[in-house]
């Protein structure tokens, strides 16, 4: 029986990579909007939202690193099969 794991891992990596791009775009959007804000409360809110997006990016990058490490472990155990 053929394993579907490599395909699934590849799909998850693609999803995570796309999610990181979207989070980066959101970060830039909020950050740039904060630069244009004239009210301190608005600026503060937009910067907080930008920081949330930054934390999402870091979380997603952590998941990518975990998947890459697991792929290497799996490759080492199976001999690259």
CA 72 to CA 81: how far, in whole Å? Answer: 12
pLDDT in tens, 54-63: 999 999 999 9
SS (H, E, C) 24-64: HHHHHHHHHHHHHCCCHHHHHHHHHHHHHHHHHHHHHHHHH
Overall pTM surpassing 0.85 (yes/no):
no
pLDDT in tens, 10-67: 899 999 999 999 999 999 999 999 999 999 999 999 999 999 999 999 999 999 999 9
Question: Could you give all domains of the chain from N- to C-terminal order, each with its CATH number?
Answer: 13-70 (1.20.5)
């Amino acid at each position: 029986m053929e394993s579907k794991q490599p395909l699934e891992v590849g799909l998850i990596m693609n999803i995570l990579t796309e999610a990181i791009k979207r989070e980066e775009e959101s970060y830039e959007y909020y950050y740039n909007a904060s630069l244009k804000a004239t009210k301190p409360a608005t600026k503060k809110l937009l910067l907080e939202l930008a920081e949330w997006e930054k934390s999402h990016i870091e979380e997603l990058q952590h998941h990518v690193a975990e998947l890459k490490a697991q792929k290497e472990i799996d490759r080492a155990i199976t001999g690259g099969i």
